[in-house]
Structure 1
Amino acid sequence: MQSLAARIILLWGWRRSLVAFLAGALAVLSQAPYDFFPVCFVSFPILVWLLDGASGERGDGAIRRYITIFGIGWWFGLGYFLFGLWWIGKALLVDAEAFAWALPLAVLGLPAGLAVFYGIACVIARSCWPDGLGRIVALACGFGLAEWLRATLLTGFPWNAIGYAAMPIPLLMQSVHVVGLFGINALAVFVFAAPAVLGSGRHRRITLSAAVLLAAVHAGYGAWVLAAPVEYARKLSIRIVQPSVPQGGKWDPAMRDEILARLIDLSGRPTTKGRAPELIVWPETALPFLLTDRPDALAAMGNMLADGQLLVLGAVRSEAGTAEGEPVRYYNATVAIDDNGEIVDAIDKVHLVPFGEYLPFERLFRQVGLRAVAETVGGFSPGAHRRALQVTPAIAAEPMICYEVIFPGEVALPEVDFILNLTNDAWFGNTPGPYQHFRQAQVRAVEAGLPLVRSANNGISGVVDRSGRVVDAYALDVTGALDVELQIPVKKSHISVAPKMIGVLTILLLAIIACGMSVLARLRST
């Protein structure tokens, strides 16, 4: 191990960049659908050793050294995001004639931009880089802060955060409810990077012992939570419809009636198990038209519903401008329709996808002929705020449309009983994207301590309990109606905490420890 570490430490130039890139690419195997987290015990020690080697270039001055350090993190991030997010380009090929030109920007440009955050992580870590245990803590702190920045800046994009590598199964997900995803990110990097001390540095015994202890507590706490009895207050019978409409034909006017007929047919089929559904759920933008333009469609949905049933679906909602000459605004909404065929509620998506649902700097981009990838009616406007959707007089849900569910700490309404996630992952076909999206939704359920109901156009649809266990689900490209009995716990969660805040506090604590160890190391050396 020491010989390997020495070789990596002494790398420079393009060889160092290549090794960093390959280490980042290898780490992708820790994410869904592969879930092979042991690769991180290779990737992160390599990153530590590469950063160890960057300290030898003192003759170049501080700025030059930090450029080198940033470059190591950037190449690591480029490998990680390039191989982890290549499937985003598939969305551009749905309408290849209009968007194929942007394929390099999505497949290469986005990973290159996200890699900046890992470059920042390494600069933060290397600014307080004591020998031994301290540098492992510094790296954990750097990545914890960088992942927080990635989830926050420029509307945020925390997809495939490192912490998900430490949560491949429900047993290993429970800690996220205590320290939040931001805390898990930092603690996971500490554990993954700890073996680096076997190749270089001091404090081997205490570093490895701390990593083993953290991993044991992580797994042990999960086992304790999953073994604890849960008392349920209410049940809700749900039918989740997965129509598997091909994305290429979804907005074809000739298919509108066919899509509506498919959804109604699947929704009205006899119940195969349990009670008749009280709630029927269709996916995001289930219908390729405005409901207000099709009163016949509303009437058909009302006729389909039995007395007391509620239909919740994703739909485009329009709203006329309040001032003269103001354009019509469109919203990506969660809409509730009762058994009379009347719209009884509509909650708009708050966190829109940049370049997917709206154009940042819209006037500038439209002048050169650009439009959003998912634009069908002129681009979406964001909803004003989140609020609960009353499913029954006693049960409320928090709607999260599509990628809203990937943001840690955003499920925050105290009065809700479950998370309702409507999405359309047909844009990405049978690639790692839908699996990664489902995993992040699964973790949100654990983080919030709430069960999750998910309807996706072509999968993965299903129900997840508050501990992240999949109650039932449909795989990708299955067409059908999934009947599930949702169990709603008496208490929403086993511990009452604010994971988002606790995660940030965890990172700050690690930062204080790392800086303290750095100061002590320098005092001892003088």
Structure 2
Amino acid sequence: MERLADRIILVWGVKRSLLAIAAGAFGVLALPPVGFFAAMFVSFTLLVWLIDGAAASPESSLAGRLWPAFATGWLFGFGYFVAGLWWLGHALLVDSDEFAWALPLAILGLPACLAIFYGLAAALARILWSDGMGRIAALAASFGLLEWVRSFIFTGFPWNAIGYAMMPMPVMMQSAHVIGTMGVTALSVFVFAAPALLGTRQGAKLGISLAAILFAAHLGYGAYILYLTPKPEALPEDKRPVIRLVQPAIDQSVKMDNDADREAIFETHLKLSTEAPREGGRKPDIIVWPETSIPFILTDNKDALTRIADTLDDDQILIAGAVRAEELGPGYPTRYYNSIYVIDGRGQIVAASDKVHLVPFGEYLPFEDMLNELGIQNVVEMPGGFSAAASRHLLELPSGLKFYPLVCYEIIFPDEMTGDIGQANAILNITNDSWFGSTPGPYQHFQQARVRAVETGLPLIRDANSGISAVVDARGEIVSGLKLDEIGFIDATLDGLEKNTGKPYPRQTYFWLTETLLMIIALISRRGFIFRPN
């Protein structure tokens, strides 16, 4: 290990750049659909050794001294985000004649921007760099901080935060309920980077021991929650509401075509909703359709509401994604919202919720006037794009159940789990991942949705046009689900759905406590008091 570490520390030029990119790209194996979390041990061990060798002239300015570390972190991040987000380009191929030109921006441009956060993390860590365990703590604290910043700055995009690599299965997700995804991210970097101490020997015994304790605690807590903690009491099986998730797997290119296709799409959803329950099961009480599943403005189509009423029994409820239009009066443009409707058995809209956190360049165009002059349009065809709702509110069903509504990628934001979520019975997430085809994107999206269930302590009801649709309990375990691109439906019940099982943990407080402890270790090590060799 020492010989290997020395070679990597001393590597220079093009080889150094390629190695940093490869180290980041290799770490993507830890993410869905592969989920080989051990890949991150290789990635961060290499990153530590590369930063060890990221030296500059002592006469350089502060920026000059930090530049080699920033460049190393940026290259690492570029490899990580290209390998982890290349599938975003698939959305542009749905209408390739219009958007193929933007493929390089999606596949290379966005990763180049996101990699800046990892470059800053490496540079910040370099300020507190030392010989022993302290540099591992500095790197962990810096990544935790910059991943947190990435979750909100410029509307935020915390997709594939490093912590998800440490949460490939429910037994490894439970820590997120206490310290949140960003807390798991910070401690994960410490654990993943710890093997680097074996190559330089300084602080190896203490650092490896602490990393092993953290990893054991992570697994042990998960096992305790899953196997030793009783689940909340629930109503008898025949008293629980049956939830049907409809997954039609409509190709996105078809959804964008003519009126005849829209009518066929609507009929497909109605047909799957009326299918008889399998194996003598009970009829569904709640039927869920995915994002924008109603392919026209519902309030302008009274016949559609009548057909929904004819499809549903009087005691059934339909929850469906649709585009909602809001007329502001003569002389004002119509506003469009990406919405969720709750429709009762009489065809009446009894509740609705609009999407709050829109996708830049997908649902709205930043700097619209300027970019329109350059010929740049939204990926989603909508005059003026979508409008964002001012706030989020619970969807209350006639039965009294309350769902916390999240449309599409809103589910990836831990900080979106606020407001009246404490009164919710479950998280409701509808999405349309058919934009991304059979790529890693839908698998990554689903994992992040499961982690939100664990963080909040609430079950998750997730319906996707092409998958992955599933009912997930509050511990991240799949109750029932449909595979990617599978056409059909599932009927499922949830333990304790009628109760609010969420537990209000001060996750942000624990995250900042974790950051503070890591920074203290880094500072003390930097000053040479402890954690350094004699």
Q: TM-score range by the shorter chain?
A: over 0.9
Secondary structure of the corresponding residue to residue 315 of structure 1 = strand
Secondary structure of the corresponding residue to residue 341 of structure 1 = coil
Question: Could you tell me how far apart the structure 2 residues matched to 1:321 and 1:494 are?
Answer: 39
Question: Could you tell me how far apart the structure 2 residues matched to 1:494 and 1:391 are?
Answer: 19
Equivalent residue number for residue 376 of structure 1: 382
Deviations 1:424-461 (A, max 9, x none): 00000000000000000011100110000111001100
Equivalent residue number for residue 483 of structure 1: 491
Equivalent residue number for residue 31 of structure 2: 31
CA RMSD of aligned residues (A): 1.8
CA-CA distance at 1:509 after TM superposition: 3.0
Equivalent residue number for residue 195 of structure 2: 195
Equivalent residue number for residue 4 of structure 1: 4
Matching residue within 400, 407, 417 for 1:401: 407
Q: Which amino acid counterpart does residue 320 of structure 2 have in structure 1?
A: L
1:91 aligns with 2:99: no
Q: Which amino acid counterpart does residue 184 of structure 2 have in structure 1?
A: I
Question: Could you tell me how far apart the structure 2 residues matched to 1:175 and 1:440 are?
Answer: 14
Matching residue within 475, 478, 487 for 1:470: 478
CA-CA distance at 1:382 after TM superposition: 0.4
Equivalent residue number for residue 121 of structure 1: 121
Question: Could you tell me how far apart the structure 2 residues matched to 1:261 and 1:45 are?
Answer: 54
Equivalent residue number for residue 206 of structure 2: 206
1:230 aligns with 2:237: no
Secondary structure of the corresponding residue to residue 373 of structure 1 = coil
Range with bigger deviation, 223-232 or 443-452: 223-232
Question: Could you tell me how far apart the structure 1 residues matched to 2:500 and 2:164 are?
Answer: 23
1:425-464 to structure 2, matched below 5 A, reads: 425-464=433-472
Q: Which amino acid counterpart does residue 240 of structure 1 have in structure 2?
A: L
Deviations 1:338-372 (A, max 9, x none): 11111111100000000010001111111222211
Deviations 1:136-161 (A, max 9, x none): 00010111011001101001000011
Equivalent residue number for residue 301 of structure 1: 308
Question: Could you tell me how far apart the structure 1 residues matched to 2:264 and 2:109 are?
Answer: 38
CA-CA distance at 1:252 after TM superposition: 1.4
Change (3 A) 1:165 1:97: same
Change (3 A) 1:141 1:497: same
Q: Which amino acid counterpart does residue 194 of structure 1 have in structure 2?
A: A
1:238-277 to structure 2, matched below 5 A, reads: 238-253=243-258, 254-272=260-278, 273-277=280-284
Deviations 1:12-47 (A, max 9, x none): 222211111010010000000000111111110110
Count of residue correspondences = 525
1:313 aligns with 2:320: yes
Equivalent residue number for residue 109 of structure 1: 109
Equivalent residue number for residue 294 of structure 2: 287
CA-CA distance at 1:522 after TM superposition: 10
Give the conservation status (yes or no) of the 8 Å contact 1:173–1:468: yes
Question: Could you tell me how far apart the structure 1 residues matched to 2:501 and 2:349 are?
Answer: 32
Give the conservation status (yes or no) of the 8 Å contact 2:356–2:392: yes
Change (3 A) 1:309 1:8: same
**TM-score for the superposition, normalised by structure 1:** 0.96
Question: What residue ranges of structure 2 are gaps of 5+ in the alignment?
Answer: none
Deviations 1:175-220 (A, max 9, x none): 0000001100000000000000100141111101101100000000
Secondary structure of the corresponding residue to residue 14 of structure 1 = helix
Question: Could you tell me how far apart the structure 2 residues matched to 1:339 and 1:303 are?
Answer: 8
Secondary structure of the corresponding residue to residue 148 of structure 1 = helix
Give the conservation status (yes or no) of the 8 Å contact 1:138–1:511: yes
1:402-417 to structure 2, matched below 5 A, reads: 402-412=408-418, 413-417=421-425
Question: Could you tell me how far apart the structure 2 residues matched to 1:491 and 1:220 are?
Answer: 27
Change (3 A) 1:4 1:231: same
Q: Which amino acid counterpart does residue 106 of structure 2 have in structure 1?
A: A
